[in-house]
């Protein structure tokens, strides 16, 4: 595959159809600039600021854009909030739709058949494979991203984090907790 991709890049470059330097910028963007740290900032702010949380619930696209996170695969956002009663889980059974603007590029497992096939029929079993055991009576809501809305899970704020700064709170927010395959880290 390495040779095949190199050949394709060569053909397109020599025909003047693509700029290889543009590829470098794209890769750099998703390696160093756009990643789950963005989403963690959104969640930390929602935990700290009730007005922001309400805005995020009402109009996630605008609330997220206010922190500077916009663009490709984050054009239409919806935030879904975990509660004591309900745990949210996001999947794209049909391809690999994922909120790039807040989480960056999706992990391999998110795009692979085991997760995509089972998240909608056996989410509890899937969560066990992530080391997350939910009580049987805890509701699970699975969001299958079949259209252009992209979902961000807002995990519950860990107890013992009262008074923490947004920076410190953001460190508790893992990528998986914003997909729903994990919870936020415990406040140490």
Q: Is 54 in the site for another protein (CB under 8 A)?
A: no
Pick from 54, 58, 83, 117 the residue near another protein by CB under 8 A: 117
Considering only residues 6-25, where is the footprint of another protein by CB under 8 A? 6-12, 14-19, 21-25
Considering the complex, state which of residue 28 and residue 186 has its C-beta at the smaller distance from another protein: 28
Q: Is 181 in the site for another protein (CB under 8 A)?
A: yes
In angstroms, the CA 22 to CA 43 distance is 31
In angstroms, the CA 133 to CA 76 distance is 31
DSSP-derived secondary structure letter, 34: S
Pick from 37, 59, 81, 118 the residue near another protein by CB under 8 A: 118
SS3 labels along 102-137:
HHCCCCHHHHCHHHHHHCCCCHHHHHHHCCCCCCCC
Closest-CA residue to 60 (of 148, 150, 143, 171): 150
In angstroms, the CA 66 to CA 60 distance is 10
Considering only residues 59-78, where is the footprint of another protein by CB under 8 A? 70-76
133 in active site: no
In angstroms, the CA 99 to CA 43 distance is 14
Least spacing, CB of residue 163 vs another protein, in Å: 30
Q: Which of 48, 97, 117, 165 is catalytic?
A: 97
Q: Which of 95, 117, 133, 165 is catalytic?
A: 95
Q: Is 50 in the site for another protein (CB under 8 A)?
A: no
Considering only residues 126-155, where is the footprint of another protein by CB under 8 A? 126, 129-130, 136-149
48 in active site: no
92 in active site: yes
DSSP-derived secondary structure letter, 143: E
> What is the total count of residues that contact another protein (CB under 8 A)?
79
Q: How many residues does the chain have?
A: 188
Considering only residues 77-106, where is the footprint of another protein by CB under 8 A? 93-96, 101, 104-105
In angstroms, the CA 114 to CA 90 distance is 14
- What residues act catalytically? 92, 95-97
């Amino acid at each position: 595959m390495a040779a095949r991709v190199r050949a394709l890049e060569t053909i397109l470059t020599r025909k003047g159809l693509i700029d290889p330097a543009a590829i470098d910028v794209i890769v750099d963007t998703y390696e160093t600039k756009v990643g789950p740290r963005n989403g963690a900032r959104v969640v930390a702010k929602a935990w700290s600021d009730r007005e922001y949380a309400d805005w995020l619930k009402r109009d996630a696209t605008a609330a997220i854009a206010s922190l500077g996170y916009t663009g490709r695969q984050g054009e239409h956002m919806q935030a879904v909030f975990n509660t004591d009663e309900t745990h949210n889980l996001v999947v794209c059974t049909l391809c690999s739709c994922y909120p790039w603007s807040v989480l960056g590029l999706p992990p391999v497992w998110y795009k692979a058949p085991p997760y995509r096939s089972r998240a909608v029929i056996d989410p509890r079993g899937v969560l066990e494979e992530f080391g997350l055991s939910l009580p049987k009576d805890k509701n699970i809501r699975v969001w299958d991203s079949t259209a252009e809305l992209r979902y961000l899970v807002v995990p519950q704020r860990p107890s013992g984090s009262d008074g923490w700064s947004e920076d410190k709170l953001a460190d508790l927010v893992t990528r998986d907790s914003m997909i729903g395959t994990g919870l936020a880290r415990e406040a140490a």
